[in-house]
Amino acid sequence: MEKYDLCVIGGGPAGYAAAMRAIDFGKKVLLVEKSKLGGYGIYDGALASKTMWELSNKAKTVKDEIGQDKRLDLPFSKVKEIIDEALFERKFQLSCHLRIIHAETSLINYEKGTASFVSDKEILITKEDGNSFQIHAENTIIASGSRPRTLPDIKVDEDVILTSDGILHLDEFPKSMVILGAGVIGCEFATMFSNFGQTKVYLIDKADRILPFEDKDVADLVATNLEENGVVIHRGAQLIRMDHLGNEVEYEIENPDGSREVIRVEKAMLSIGRVPNIEDLKLENANVQMSKRGVHIGDEDTRTNVPNIYAVGDVSGHLALVNVGEREARHAVVKMFGDFPVKPIHYENISTIMFLNPEVAAVGLNEQKAEELGIPIRVSKVDYSTIARAIAMRKTNGFFKIIVSDDEEMKVLGMRAIGEHASSAIQSVSLLMYMNKGIDELAHMIHPHPSIVEGVQECVRMLLGKSVYKSSIFKDKLKCYRRTVAGEKLPLHVLRAKEQDVDNQDDLKKIAQINKSNIR
């Protein structure tokens, strides 16, 4: 029986990252993947869908230039061809890298097969041809990923009724499609298919608005843009049935007012979450405890109740994102083999991107969550229409919103960016949050001009009472306010006024009195 320092179960983004980090410590590693190296980070997931999103944005730009009423006949076969090229490039990188590392160090072995526990340190590897062998691993990382969740009364054939596993394998653009679920994935695919302009898209949203975990202003802007792109959003709708009719799908919904609608479409997509791939692992043989999230995480982050077994990525029960899975995986390896203290992972300040129209980037708290937690905050919001670069790009649809603590330190608690370059613009604020800093550093930096990030700087300047444009003047484009625990909004353009912004001592006394009564 061959012995390893670490066995990694799953060759997706998290598993691959874990294996490579273990090599840094000079450990002998076995990486096991039952299907495709790269997992959902490449196939039917992040890279594939985001390549399609980029193409759809280009298609929409062309369509907007030639006129919304004109048809852009881009065949789906061409879209698939470009996606396949991107997938091959990434797959080639990973596989070549793995082979060269194996040849140069002999520290890592790769097996294609299914892994299951025999005990906490013995793992059975079953190959595709049915042959199997057993290995001994001092430590194990479970990174077996997840799959789309389905419903028992809806037959998914990945041809007419699909999940994200099948939606990118269509032969042509459907003339019509319904998407069940208005979370991030559902809204992303609604965005992509509506951008191409060849599919009538319906979106079933059981909540009263899409993206219910996000602030209303973010969700409303995304919804408005989807509807302007021709998407029909069934808000607050309850799905009564979804029937497979051969080459079509018929679905019935009940609206909030009790009325019902029956609609037929060519395709349907379920986007109702994901479930962890844990059934084949035989976790009971290793005494790994379970929870509703999947593999139970113990008192120490990423570690299960069994000290030498860790769970990362989608099976950890935290955010099912590539960057989170990779971070957890590297963290778990350092906990195993590092001889130095390791700070726990903080999930509160993770940056995320939603590939919508326009793109949305987020980090930390939003207003909705702050109110739910009873945290008083100060908020500044800058519309893209006041940012020179956005004006130059003719892309003024969007805004920046920064949320800080309601005190003199004004530490950054969160940010939402929606618009062009949102994912890039959020990074400086993410760094401030990681360093537990206030906003002064960002306010005093000299940013490149013209750039989108200048809008971020104006956000923090407004909070400090130093902005170029005053929120009291451009009330429809600039907002700066304090939100109390009760949810009440109080304008800050007076409360945060500085001595240089007033003309006489009477005004100063009034401002001091307002600060004393309303801020503290």
Q: What domains can be seen in the chain, in order of their start residue?
A: 2-147+275-346 (3.50.50.60), 161-272 (3.50.50.60), 358-519 (3.30.390.30)
**Contact indicator for 47, 166 with CB cutoff of 8 Å:** no
Short-list 1, 24, 14, CA closest to 108: 24
Helix H or strand E segment including 124: strand 122-127
Return the structure tokens found at 111: 């097996």
Quote the CA–CA distance of 204 and 252 in Å, as a whole number: 10
Q: Which two tokens stand for residue 425?
A: 């613009």
CA nearest to 203, candidates 214, 184, 221: 184
Other beta carbons within 10 angstroms of residue 256's beta carbon come to 11
Cβ-contact 71, 197 below 8 angstroms: yes
Question: What is the Cα–Cα distance from 54 to 192, expressed in whole angstroms?
Answer: 9
pLDDT of residue 512: 43
CB 316 within 8 A of CB 148: no
Q: Hey, CA dihedral for 290, 291, 292, 298, is it positive or negative?
A: negative
Question: Quick check: bond before 448 cis, omega within 30?
Answer: no
Give the span between the Cα atoms of 270 and 148, in whole angstroms.
8
Spatial contact of 64 and 161, defined as CB atoms under 8 Å apart: no
* Alpha-carbon gap, residue 482 to 492, rounded angstroms: 6
**How many whole angstroms separate alpha carbon 176 and alpha carbon 426?**
35
> Beta-carbon neighbour count of residue 214 at 10 Å?
23
Question: What pLDDT score was predicted for residue 414?
Answer: 94
- The reported pTM is 0.89
Q: How far apart are CA 418 and CA 17, in angstroms?
A: 30
> Comparing C-alpha atoms, which of 216, 225, 191, 228 is closest to residue 401?
216
Blockwise average pLDDT, block size 10, the chain, 520 residues? 97 97 97 94 92 94 75 87 96 95 93 97 95 97 95 96 95 97 96 96 95 95 96 97 96 97 98 93 92 61 93 89 94 94 86 94 94 93 95 94 91 94 90 84 85 91 89 88 78 51 44 41
d(CA 364, CA 149): 27
How far is Cα 14 from Cα 30, in angstroms, rounded to an integer? 14
- Pair 328, 313: CB distance under 8 Å: yes
Alpha carbons 321 and 473: distance in angstroms, whole number = 41
